[in-house]
């Protein structure tokens, strides 16, 4: 099986040993407490679940700046985005101490992890601006990822963590949330050698369904990992439970049995376009996937990124050999009225725009909210029904 990124084996930071976890929970009662933000909490979950292999905790200022600037830590590890515990108030926290990190996303703010504080450093306005510009390609406060990042604070609390739980993800999505190690174990159990991964924060329409099938056939993969982001999104995006139900119905009815694994991971969307596409590739390599689909405007939002910037970054900025996973580069996919099937637009050069069934997200949401059926060429009716019920309940 493909090796994890930067390591011979996964390095999940969840404390699996029950005795040790109980000791830490007892220790946490007497430790200084830090209520972290959702971004830091989701970073802890990803560290716990092995998706951030081989990281051992939150980055310090030097590593964060280096990663932002050139996608390498100070030690030379290839990594595309800073993994930080940022906050405004560090009163009561001292270098060398251990602190209990409280979960902002669970009622009562239980202890999520214990961190050993190696450094407390302040990011200047110029340094924050550098990380924002390099990571998101913009400093526009209207960008949802930029708006979130610049609201987190400028104090960098770095150091290793021991994570005690998976926040709300394991409880709210028991049938879907999986760690990188669990996915690897399932791939091994199924005997899959080649696995193509598909990232989604949205429901899957006909074009997405066919794209997965095209990629699987093109690389001769044994199976497809449909891997849903389960964390926080921007306002207006479809909630994870609705997406989960819609995707499961699509796979049940329209994919051959035992060719798809439906899972999810606990991370908040960054909307960072190209840099996040590279991060997504790291996640899937750590899951054991050999190929990863990157399509048009992957992880993008609005008009901040070029249509294929998330593909060309692998040519321009990812050093050869930095990742073992291979990228399947997809074009915009849509139903061709001429050919009576879903195609990649690049494969239909004789088509005009009106030869495709194309609907904007705004149009789709309006149709669903009004109880109008989506075209069969655009969405499977069983999927559309689930989405319509959601929009009409709002």
pTM over 0.85: yes
For residue 60, the model assigns a pLDDT of 98
Q: Which of 43, 60, 178, 201 is catalytic?
A: 201
The verdict on whether 370 is a catalytic residue reads: no
For residue 238, the model assigns a pLDDT of 84
For residue 313, the model assigns a pLDDT of 98
For residue 234, the model assigns a pLDDT of 77
Give, in order, the Cα–Cα distances in Å from 282 to each of 3, 32, 82.
11, 33, 13
Asked, colleague to colleague, whether 18-167 and 174-265+273-392 share their fold, the answer is no
Q: Which of 21, 202, 248, 365 is catalytic?
A: 202
For residue 38, the model assigns a pLDDT of 97
Please identify which residue in the block is written with the tokens 């050093």.
Answer: 319
Here the tokens at position 212 are 């997965």
> How is the chain split into domains, by residue range?
18-167, 174-265+273-392
Compute the distance between CA of residue 86 and CA of residue 91 in angstroms, rounded to an integer: 13
Closest listed residue to residue 64, CA positions, set 165, 146, 139, 155 = 155
If DSSP states are collapsed to H, E and C, what string results for 197-235? EEEECCCCCHHHHHHHHHHHHHHCCCEEEEEEECCCCCC
Here the tokens at position 206 are 């006909």
The CATH class, in words, for 174-265+273-392 is: alpha beta
The verdict on whether 201 is a catalytic residue reads: yes
Over the chain (394 residues), the average pLDDT of each successive run of 10 is 96 98 98 98 98 98 98 98 97 96 98 98 98 98 97 98 97 95 98 97 91 97 97 82 93 96 96 98 98 95 95 97 97 92 92 90 85 92 94 85
Sheet with 326-329, strands from edge to edge, namely: 260-265, 223-229, 195-200, 291-294, 326-329
For domain 18-167, the CATH architecture is: Roll (3.10)
Sign of the CA dihedral with 273 first, then 165, 185, and 213 last? negative
């Amino acid at each position: 099986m493909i090796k994890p990124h930067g390591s011979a084996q996964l390095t999940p930071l969840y404390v699996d040993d029950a005795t040790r976890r109980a000791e830490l929970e007892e220790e946490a009662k007497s430790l200084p407490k830090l209520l972290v933000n959702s971004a830091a909490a989701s970073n802890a979950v990803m560290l716990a679940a092995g998706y951030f292999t081989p990281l051992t905790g939150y980055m310090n200022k030097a590593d964060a700046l280096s990663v932002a600037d050139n996608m390498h830590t100070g030690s030379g590890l290839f990594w595309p985005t800073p993994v930080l515990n940022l906050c405004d108030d560090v009163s009561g926290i001292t270098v060398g101490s251990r602190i209990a990190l409280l979960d902002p996303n669970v009622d009562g703010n239980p202890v999520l992890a214990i961190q050993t504080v190696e450094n407390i450093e302040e990011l200047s306005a110029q340094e924050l601006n550098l990380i924002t510009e390099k990571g998101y390609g913009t400093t526009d406060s209207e960008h949802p990822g930029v708006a979130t990042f610049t609201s987190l604070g400028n104090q960098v609390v770095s150091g290793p963590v021991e994570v005690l739980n998976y926040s709300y993800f394991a409880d709210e999505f028991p049938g879907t949330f999986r760690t990188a190690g669990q996915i690897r174990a399932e791939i091994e159990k199924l005997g899959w050698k080649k696995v193509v991964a598909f990232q989604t924060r949205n429901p899957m329409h006909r074009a997405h369904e066919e794209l997965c099938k095209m990629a699987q056939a093109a690389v001769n993969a044994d199976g497809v990992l449909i891997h849903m982001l389960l964390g926080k999104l921007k306002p207006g995006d479809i909630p994870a439970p609705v997406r989960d139900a819609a995707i499961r119905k699509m796979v049940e009815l329209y994919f051959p049995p035992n060719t798809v694994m439906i899972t999810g991971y606990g991370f908040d969307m960054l909307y960072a376009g190209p840099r996040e596409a590279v991060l997504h590739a790291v996640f899937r390599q750590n899951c054991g996937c050999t190929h990863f689909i990157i399509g048009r405007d992957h992880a993008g939002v609005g008009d901040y990124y070029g249509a294929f910037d998330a593909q060309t970054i692998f040519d321009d900025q990812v050093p050869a050999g930095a990742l073992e996973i291979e990228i399947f580069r997809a074009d915009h996919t849509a139903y061709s009225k001429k050919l009576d099937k879903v195609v990649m637009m690049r494969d239909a050069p004789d088509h005009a725009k009106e030869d495709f069934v194309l609907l904007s997200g705004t149009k789709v949401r309006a149709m669903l909210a009004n109880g109008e059926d989506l075209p069969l060429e655009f969405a499977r009716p069983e999927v559309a029904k689930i989405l319509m019920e959601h929009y009409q309940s709002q």
